[in-house]
Amino acid sequence: MASVNGVRDNLELCFVFFVFFLSLASGQLSSTYYDSSCPKALSTIRSAVRAAVAKEHRMGASLLRLHFHDCFVNGCDGSVLLDDTASFTGEKTAGPNDMSLRGFDVVDSIKSQVESVCPQVVSCADILAVAARDSVVALGGPSWTVQLGRRDSTTASLSNANNDLPAPTSDLSTLISAFAKKGLSSSDMVALSGSHTIGQARCTTFRNRVYDDSNINSSFATSKQSGCPRSGSDDQLSPLDTFTPSFFDGCYYKNLVDNKGLLHSDQELYNGGSTDSQVSNYVKNPAKFFTDFATAMVKMGRISPLLSPSGEVRVNCRKTN
Ligand code: HEM
Ligand SMILES: *[C@@H]1O[C@H](CO)[C@@H](O)[C@H](O)[C@H]1NC(C)=O
């Protein structure tokens, strides 16, 4: 009897070890992923992001958006960073990205600083996730613990970038389903849209809103029209949050309640639909926006990551190894 139990215990022990090694081999996201392999990874990224944001506040917005555009296209796998070549088509020329995404040089600089402390250990996808968090913090927003261990893709998808990134012309139900497709709720969508409390948009993305929408404050519309003529000046910039574009705060939602959302898609969050109450709640309680935003960013960062042994750690974020 004792020996039978002994055999069973050994088998159970083996099984436990088997599962343990399996999970090491297949990998999973963890906040301590680089603690022993690259203890300086997080501090190196943080100081590089702080320097970049101090030099240009908008860079914080641009880095945050890169992580979003990475995660929504085949998961958070660094695919957005791959350059086009004669034989490779990346995502940079997709409608939502072309002439719009920025910060690639800053990512290159962060990556080379990280490479110099630990060569080929920290993925580009993880750098984007950490840089997004550090950018929000640098501009006065909430902090959160970043899950790590994403690997970089060797592929990209122009068509998924065109299909899966929501357009500024979207109505509420289209926005809700675009996020649902990525496992994010309507409430995550409203919280994450609070990112538009920082950064800039081009005239071409809000022209129809300021000329044709009726749910817009008329003096706001007139002032936005002056920087965005009916035709031409497509690339003329306007802050997404007119009042505090360099501060990560809850003013975005106050703008919506005042019918001063810059994008049509922004104003859809407060236009008589199911998300109105969440928006007015955030106006009353900005701290709730901060905690919901942080939680939703962690969720977004978990969208189908590439895990070891899949993918690679790119040496140069712009090309596969
Ligand atoms: C809800 C659906 C969303 C739509 C339709 C949308 C659309 C846009 C558009 C059209 C712009 C201006 C781009 C340009 O003119 O070049 C923009 C900028 C921006 N978006 Fe979104 N976005 C959405 C959600 C998000 C999310 C979830 C995040 C981050 C988690 C985000 C972060 C940003 C940031 C920070 C900027 C400013 C970037 C800069 O100044 O460089 N957006 N977005
Ligand atoms: C539109 O915004 C202006 C300027 O903030 C404000 O004075 C006005 O009352 C607003 N109009 C409406 C209809 O809310």
Per-residue pLDDT, 243: 87
Please indicate whether residue 191 or residue 4 has the higher confidence score (pLDDT): 191
> Does residue 45 share a domain with residue 141?
yes
Share of the chain above pLDDT 90, in %: 91
Residue 264 and residue 280: Cα distance in Å, rounded?
18
Domain-terminating residue out of 106, 130, 164: 164
Question: Per-residue pLDDT averaged across 259-277, rounded?
Answer: 98
Total tally of structural domains belonging to the chain: 2
> Does residue 156 share a domain with residue 50?
yes
Per-residue pLDDT, 27: 63
Question: Per-residue pLDDT averaged across 199-207, rounded?
Answer: 98
Q: What residue's CA is closest to ligand 1, atom 40? A: 199
Residue 247 and residue 158: Cα distance in Å, rounded?
32
| pLDDT 10s digits, 165-198 | 999 999 999 999 999 999 999 999 999 999 999 9
Residue 149 and residue 319: Cα distance in Å, rounded?
19
Per-residue pLDDT at 18 exceeds 80: no
57 is catalytic: no
Residue 261 and residue 275: Cα distance in Å, rounded?
14
Residue 290 is part of which domain span?
172-300
Instruction: List pocket residues of ligand 1, CB cut-off 6 Å.
Output: 58, 61-62, 64-65, 68, 100, 102, 166-168, 170, 175, 189, 192-193, 195-196, 198-202, 205, 240, 263, 265
Question: From the candidates 57, 67, 69, 264, which is the catalytic residue?
Answer: 69
Structure tokens at 173: 């139900």
> Does residue 74 share a domain with residue 182?
no
Q: Is residue 281 part of a domain?
A: yes
Question: Per-residue pLDDT averaged across 89-102, rounded?
Answer: 98
Q: Give the helix ranges, DSSP H, for 139-263.
A: 158-164, 172-180, 186-193, 203-212, 218-226, 251-257
Per-residue pLDDT at 24 exceeds 70: no
Confidence grade of residue 223 (pLDDT, cut at 50, 70, 90): very high
Q: What value does the mean pLDDT of the chain take?
A: 93
